[in-house]
């Protein structure tokens, strides 16, 4: 086998000769205690002390003014776009190199994704590419930014912090101010990641997180919407809980709301997981440094390191193979021999439902799609 040394190194790193998973959840704290408390008190649904606590704990950890729980990261992003007043037929600029939830949340608003290229340094949306596309295709009017070709309003930009590596988000803050665009951060993969000392998800108008089973910390399923504007956060809480007017017994609603609430049992898991996040992140950083050192000696494989000015959570460690053929060989050999690896997502513009969306040349995105492999990145016991 061509990659037997890499396979043996990963198995040794994880002290597992049989099967090394890509990213299994780790439960080392008060998860069972808090879940038992939910059952004992009967507060297992969307009302309970852990829902309130998890929101406050995430706000404190990230530095956000307000955090609002959501049923999952996809719906958190959908809610963020609705709060930014994205309308049907609006255009939303994002990256093609992302999990499909990013594009789907835009489609749920009946809006149109526009795919711009990613940065080589971050694998996330390139502000240079977005600026170039806007300069060539958009115009500013008194009432906003519009596509010159079709007249559609361009209402938001959605960069995604790929695999926990922060994009150059301050560039997007400036760009969005210039072009009258809402900045929505897809921080689904980046809890514990910081750009210039500030947590991801707190730079834009709204930020979104995911706590799926394979994330750095998990609620089993769940998401969070982050705000620096407390009033917008309160609006989000209202709309995600069916826009119900608080009352002891009456059921009255003052807007079209959404049932996007996180159950108390999921929030209980989240509270326990967040208590352990520093230990989890330290463990994952040790793994990343071991990969960095090992692949520094490789002539063929390049380790994708954390970008400049960033502190990554190293959610997924990534390597770059020389070409598509080598990528496929590595994937086949590792998965056939007890090491779970996976390629990067299929580019959004290559999927049938998004194939007619506007794109730039996507040079870097195509390069990454043909070369990136994610290698085991979970907690090492």
pLDDT category at 65 given cuts 50, 70, 90 is very high
- pLDDT recorded at residue 52: 97
- pLDDT recorded at residue 190: 98
Asked if residue 297 and residue 269 are part of one domain, the reply reads no
Domain limit, last residue, from 275, 297, 326: 275
Would 287 be classed as within a structural domain? yes
Asked if residue 91 and residue 223 are part of one domain, the reply reads yes
Asked if residue 313 and residue 186 are part of one domain, the reply reads no
Task: Render pLDDT for 193-251 as a digit per residue (tens, 0 to 9).
Answer: 999 999 999 999 999 999 999 999 999 999 999 999 999 999 999 999 999 999 999 99
Would 380 be classed as within a structural domain? no
pLDDT category at 192 given cuts 50, 70, 90 is very high
Task: Render pLDDT for 101-154 as a digit per residue (tens, 0 to 9).
Answer: 999 999 999 999 999 999 999 999 999 999 999 999 999 999 999 999 999 999
Would 317 be classed as within a structural domain? yes
Would 195 be classed as within a structural domain? yes
Asked if residue 245 and residue 107 are part of one domain, the reply reads yes
Would 381 be classed as within a structural domain? no
| CA distances to 48, 128, 239, 242, 250 from 258, in Å | 19, 36, 6, 5, 18
Asked if residue 290 and residue 183 are part of one domain, the reply reads no
What's the CATH number where 127 sits?
A: 3.40.640.10
Task: Render pLDDT for 289-303 as a digit per residue (tens, 0 to 9).
Answer: 999 999 999 999 999
What's the CATH number where 302 sits?
A: 3.90.1150.10
Asked if residue 309 and residue 202 are part of one domain, the reply reads no
Asked if residue 196 and residue 52 are part of one domain, the reply reads yes
Asked if residue 186 and residue 43 are part of one domain, the reply reads yes
- pLDDT recorded at residue 45: 93
Asked if residue 317 and residue 210 are part of one domain, the reply reads no
- What integer best gives the mean pLDDT of the chain? 97
Q: Percent of the chain at pLDDT above 90? A: 99
Domain limit, last residue, from 246, 275, 304: 275
Q: Which residues contact 45 (CB under 8 A, 6 or more apart)?
A: 263, 264
Domain limit, last residue, from 275, 294, 312: 275
Sign of CA dihedral 327, 307, 340, 333: positive
Asked if residue 202 and residue 135 are part of one domain, the reply reads yes
- Rounded Cα distance between 310 and 190, Å, is 11
Q: What range defines the domain where residue 300 resides?
A: 4-25+277-349+358-375
Q: Pairing between strand 302-303 and 310-311?
A: unpaired
- Structure tokens of 71? 């049923």
Torsional class of 78: left (φ above 0), alpha (ψ -120 to 50), beta (otherwise): alpha
Among 42, 60, 56, smallest CA distance to 237 is for 56
Count: domains in the chain = 2
Neighbours of 259 (CB within 10 A): 10
- pLDDT recorded at residue 161: 98
Torsional class of 36: left (φ above 0), alpha (ψ -120 to 50), beta (otherwise): alpha
DSSP letters for 299-344: SS-EE-PPPTTEE---SSEEEE-SSHHHHHHHHHHHHHTTB--EEP
Asked if residue 17 and residue 41 are part of one domain, the reply reads no
Would 247 be classed as within a structural domain? yes
Contact, 235 vs 83, CB < 8 A? yes
Looking up tokens 């086998």 gives: 1
| CA distances to 115, 324, 374 from 146, in Å | 16, 38, 38
Would 121 be classed as within a structural domain? yes
Asked if residue 308 and residue 182 are part of one domain, the reply reads no
Which residues lie across from 118 on neighbouring strands?
A: 125
């Amino acid at each position: 086998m061509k990659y037997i040394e890499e396979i043996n190194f990963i198995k040794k790193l994880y002290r597992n000769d049989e099967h090394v998973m890509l990213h299994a959840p780790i439960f080392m704290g008060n998860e069972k205690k808090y879940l038992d408390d939910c059952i004992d008190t009967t507060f297992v649904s969307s009302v309970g002390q852990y829902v309130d606590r998890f929101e406050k704990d995430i706000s404190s950890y990230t530095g956000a003014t307000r955090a609002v729980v959501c049923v999952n990261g996809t719906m958190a992003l959908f809610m963020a776009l609705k709060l930014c007043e994205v309308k049907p037929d609006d255009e939303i600029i994002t990256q093609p190199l992302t999990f499909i939830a990013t594009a789907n949340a835009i489609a749920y608003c009946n809006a149109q994704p526009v795919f711009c290229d990613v940065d080589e340094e971050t694998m996330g949306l390139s502000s240079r590419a977005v600026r170039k596309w806007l300069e060539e295709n958009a115009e500013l009017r008194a009432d906003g930014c519009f596509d010159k070709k079709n007249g559609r309003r361009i209402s938001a930009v959605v960069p995604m912090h790929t695999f926990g590596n922060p994009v150059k988000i301050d560039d997007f803050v400036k760009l969005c101010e210039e072009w009258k665009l809402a900045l929505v951060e897809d921080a689904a993969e980046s809890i514990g990641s910081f750009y210039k000392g500030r947590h991801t998800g707190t730079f834009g108008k709204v930020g979104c997180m995911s706590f799926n089973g394979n994330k750095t910390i998990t609620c089993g399923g769940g998401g969070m919407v982050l705000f620096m504007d407390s009033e917008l956060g309160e609006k989000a809480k209202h709309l995600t809980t069916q826009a119900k007017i608080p009352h002891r017994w009456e059921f009255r609603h003052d807007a079209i709301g959404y049932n996007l609430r996180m159950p108390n049992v999921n929030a209980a898991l989240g509270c326990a997981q967040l208590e352990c996040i520093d230990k989890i992140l330290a463990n994952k950083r040790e793994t990343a440094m071991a990969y960095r050192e090992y692949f520094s000696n490789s002539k063929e494989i390049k380790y994708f390191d954390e970008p400049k000015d960033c502190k990554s959570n190293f959610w997924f460690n990534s390597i770059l193979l020389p070409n598509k053929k080598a990528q496929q060989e590595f994937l086949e050999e590792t998965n056939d021999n007890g090491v779970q690896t996976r390629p990067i997502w299929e580019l959004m513009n290559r999927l049938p439902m998004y194939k007619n969306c506007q794109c730039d040349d996507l040079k870097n995105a195509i390069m990454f799609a043909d070369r990136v492999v994610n290698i085991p990145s979970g907690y090492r016991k």
